[in-house]
Amino acid sequence: MASELSDTLKSLPSHHFQDFYTLKELPESHAWKPVDDDLCPFGHHDMVAEQVPVVDLSDPTAERLIEHACRTWGVFQIINHGIPTRLLDDIESACQRLFSLPMHRKLRAAREPDGTAGYGPAVISSFFPKKLWSEGFTIFGSPLEHARQLWPNDYMKFCDIIGEYKKEMKQLAQKLTWLMLSPLGITQEDVKWAGPEGEFEGASAALQLNSYPTCPDPNRAMGLAAHTDSTLITILFQNNIAGLQVLREGFGWVTVSPIPRGLTINVGDMLHIMSNGLYPSVLHRATVNLTRHRLSVAYLFGPPWEAHVSPISKVVDSDHPPLYRAVTLREYREMRAEHFDKALSLVRLRAPN
Ligand SMILES: C=C1C[C@]23C[C@@]1(O)CC[C@H]2[C@@]12CCC[C@@](C)(C(=O)O1)[C@H]2[C@@H]3C(=O)O
Ligand SMILES: O=C(O)CCC(=O)C(=O)O
Ligand SMILES: [Fe+2]
């Protein structure tokens, strides 16, 4: 088994795969400056008072609450969203099964150096001098091939859960996107690429399974470094263990308190552009834990790869000129791959009035 692992590692290029489960101390390569130091980069505030908004989707005023949350935070949590509890339990178990596999098995499904799908560190890790305390598994389209490599005799269970989860998430993402766009006066006619029924048929979607193993020195480690998502919206499920933090302008990092069976919705860069900056994409990161293995599942919902995304005319006038040029998701992801957090400013035309 040990030789299978070293053979696999030898055949993989400089890509960094870390077996966290064997480490008793935090290696220097993973030691960030204590994450608590920058809890409040804007000075001292009463952090307890600030809570990410929670929206009950069965509330008739949900749309207004969502609009307010998107304008002020770029993130909110939802309850009563209609995703079956059983499915959330299933996806959590599927993550546990995957990440608890021995390293040599996970490496069979390793992401290729220039690839996008499979097992490996977060793609943004290459932009940071220190390594992240996390591992991920990215799914575009069908997970069948990778699932076969991971569980040669029992891969269908994983595929079925992923298939069902993606289907439910797609419907929820469509509904949420309209709940977010409607208060800005944006309708189906304004978003040609959303299709005649506004069903976002050609939308791009990916599923990112994240694992944050227990860490011997959590205050000096970083699970996932600060980033915005390059999506329209992201729907995040976390396994009831705190770790996700969002940056609230003027306050600092605020922890998103897990709500059992709740989901967190992030505004991504594509929605930021479409809304002409009215809905800012949220900067977020994930911390790690001494005793509890945290898992999260991000459904990354975007426009079709080749659709031109630009500020929608309904939110543009002479007082509010377009702040961003049109860009396709394909072009934007290429810019992110090269320039990471500078990508949004690279498509920016001017500063707001
Ligand atoms: C669809 C995508 C968004 C993502 C890059 C990717 O191609 C697949 C993984 C996604 C993810 C998840 C963790 C955070 C993130 C910044 C990363 O490193 O990989 C996002 C990427 C993104 O939003 O650009
Ligand atoms: O694990 C989390 O809470 C954050 C995950 C995340 O930001 C992502 O997958 O894009
Ligand atoms: Fe994210």
Q: What is the pLDDT of residue 14?
A: 40
Q: What percent of the chain lies above the pLDDT cut of 90?
A: 87
Q: What is the pLDDT of residue 351?
A: 87
Instruction: Report whether pLDDT(36) > 70.
Output: no
Q: What is the pLDDT of residue 272?
A: 98
Contact (CB, 8 A) for 230 and 343: yes
Q: What is the pLDDT of residue 230?
A: 98
Return the bridge partners of 13, or none. none
Contact (CB, 8 A) for 67 and 183: yes
Mean pLDDT of 284-291: 97
ipTM metric: 0.97
Q: What is the pLDDT of residue 5?
A: 55
Contact (CB, 8 A) for 218 and 287: yes
Please tell me if the CB atom of residue 264 comes closer than 6 angstroms to any atom of ligand 2.
no
Question: Could you tell me the sign of the dihedral formed by the alpha carbons of 94, 116, 212, 263, in that order?
Answer: negative
pLDDT in tens, 53-102: 999 999 999 999 999 999 999 999 999 999 999 999 999 999 999 999 99
Q: What is the pLDDT of residue 157?
A: 98
pLDDT in tens, 141-187: 999 999 999 999 999 999 999 999 999 999 999 999 999 999 999 99
Nearest C-alpha neighbor of 232 from the set 183, 182, 186, 174: 174
pLDDT in tens, 186-243: 999 999 999 999 999 999 999 999 999 999 999 999 999 999 999 999 999 999 999 9
Q: 96 CA distance to ligand 1 centroid (A)?
A: 20
Nearest C-alpha neighbor of 74 from the set 227, 246, 280, 286: 280
Please tell me if the CB atom of residue 344 comes closer than 6 angstroms to any atom of ligand 2.
no
Mean pLDDT of 304-314: 98
Instruction: Report whether pLDDT(38) > 50.
Output: yes
Q: What is the pLDDT of residue 183?
A: 98
Categorize the per-residue pLDDT at 6 as very low, low, confident or very high, splitting at 50, 70 and 90: low
Nearest C-alpha neighbor of 143 from the set 121, 174, 165: 165
As a whole number of angstroms, the distance between CA 244 and CA 254 comes to 8
Categorize the per-residue pLDDT at 296 as very low, low, confident or very high, splitting at 50, 70 and 90: very high
As a whole number of angstroms, the distance between CA 187 and CA 164 comes to 29
Q: What is the pLDDT of residue 48?
A: 52
Please tell me if the CB atom of residue 286 comes closer than 6 angstroms to any atom of ligand 2.
yes
Contact (CB, 8 A) for 329 and 204: yes
Instruction: Report whether pLDDT(45) > 70.
Output: no
CB atoms within 10 A of CB 241: 16
Q: What is the pLDDT of residue 17?
A: 84
CATH tag for 46-346 (out of 1.20.1740.10, 3.10.129.10, 2.60.120.330, 1.10.1330.10): 2.60.120.330
Please tell me if the CB atom of residue 238 comes closer than 6 angstroms to any atom of ligand 2.
yes
Protein residue closest via CA to atom 8 of ligand 2:
298
As a whole number of angstroms, the distance between CA 18 and CA 221 comes to 14
Q: What percent of the chain lies above the pLDDT cut of 70?
A: 92
Give the mutation target among 116, 236, 238, 300 for probing the ligand 1 site: most ligand atoms within 8 A of CB: 300
- In the residue annotation, 294 being an active-site residue is answered as yes
Q: What is the pLDDT of residue 13?
A: 46
Higher pLDDT, 35 or 223: 223
Categorize the per-residue pLDDT at 43 as very low, low, confident or very high, splitting at 50, 70 and 90: very low
Contact (CB, 8 A) for 63 and 242: no
Nearest C-alpha neighbor of 255 from the set 211, 213, 220, 289: 289
Average pLDDT, rounded, for the chain = 93
Nearest C-alpha neighbor of 204 from the set 300, 335, 347, 129: 300
As a whole number of angstroms, the distance between CA 103 and CA 161 comes to 22
Q: Give residue limits of the domains in the chain.
A: 46-346
Report the pocket of ligand 1 as residue ranges, CB < 6 Å.
116, 122-124, 138, 206, 208, 227, 229-231, 298, 300, 336
- Residue 84: C-alpha distances to residues 66, 91, 96 (Å): 22, 11, 19
Ramachandran area for residue 291 (φ above 0: left; ψ -120 to 50: alpha; else beta): alpha
Instruction: Report whether pLDDT(261) > 70.
Output: yes
As a whole number of angstroms, the distance between CA 57 and CA 65 comes to 10
